[in-house]
Amino acid sequence: MNKEWFVEKNSIVRKIWGKSDTVLLIFAGAAAEFALNKAVDWLYFTGKLPADPLGRLFSTVGYAQHIVFAPQSQALSVIDKMQAVHSGVEERRGARIPDWAYRDVLFMLIHYSIRSFELLERKLSGEEKEEVYRVFHSVGSRMGLRELPPSYLAWLPVREAHLRQDLEKSDYTVDLFAQYKKHLGAVRYFILLQAQILAVPETVRRCLGLSRWSILYPAIPVYRWVVRLHASWMVKAVLLPEKYKRQIQDLDLAAS
């Protein structure tokens, strides 16, 4: 019997991906880690990422939220469309994106989904973490990825191995962070770095030379209250560029 929804309506994954606060922190962390990935040159091949890193972020978020909140058939179509886009880039370049690179991106979504929700909301139970892993495992399976661990607990050491093997600071890393700064401005870029310190694993922090301490740590309890009062939009209005405010509002609308 086919499922009606790719992600069930009461799933913790919908709660995680249904708030712009959490989603923005997910992609702050992923933006840091992916800049270190040894396959980041693939995103430079088309030139779209360095030309508009924030635009690419919201495009990627759109794909992810379509998968999380769409009926089963539509979600599968979105995954297939993503696969077709990547296949087209591979054909133009005359080479294949390594399977481990796809797994790395999938692993980032798993890690930062859990980490961001726990920072801004509450600790997840083991069952909830397993649910997060199960959803993204389904995405990876649909994309034909091999060697995906069968469970969250089995995934943890594999994730650590990928962090050790697949990350390095390169010229692409330096250029991508320069593009982040160019598009955000100095103040917002500083806030981005502070958010990344909160979200990234120790391996990523060391590779990027980030501080151990973020000035945002003391603000987390306050921000949780701001979110509960439905006033976080004021913070985002100050911290994020005017041209992206509509896209940020759309992140919250996706859940409804």
Per-residue pLDDT, 1: 42
Residue-wise pLDDT tens digits, 105-130: 999 999 999 999 999 999 999 999 99
If one compares 237 and 103, the residue with the highest pLDDT of the two is 103
Residue-wise pLDDT tens digits, 38-93: 988 877 776 666 677 777 777 777 788 889 998 999 999 999 998 888 888 888 88
The answer to whether the beta carbons of residues 186 and 15 sit under 8 Å apart is no
Of 95-104, 113-122, 171-180, 240-249, where does mean pLDDT reach its minimum? Answer: 240-249
**What region does 101 belong to: left with phi over 0, alpha with psi -120 to 50, or beta?**
alpha
Mean pLDDT (the chain, rounded): 86
Q: Report in angstroms the alpha-carbon separations of 172 from 13, 21, 199.
A: 32, 28, 21
Q: Report in angstroms the alpha-carbon separations of 37 from 86, 207, 208.
A: 17, 11, 12
The pTM (predicted TM-score) of the whole model is 0.89
Per-residue pLDDT, 254: 53
Residue-wise pLDDT tens digits, 175-209: 999 999 998 889 889 999 999 999 999 999 999 99
The single residue listed with the structure tokens 């990422």 is 49
The answer to whether the beta carbons of residues 26 and 116 sit under 8 Å apart is yes
Looking at the predicted structure, is the pLDDT value of residue 214 above 90? Answer: yes
Q: Phi, psi (5° rounding) for residue 54? A: -70, -40
Rounded CA-CA distance 109/29 in Å is 10
224 CB-side CA count, 13 A: 11
Looking at the predicted structure, is the pLDDT value of residue 161 above 80? Answer: yes
Residue-wise pLDDT tens digits, 29-46: 999 998 999 988 877 776
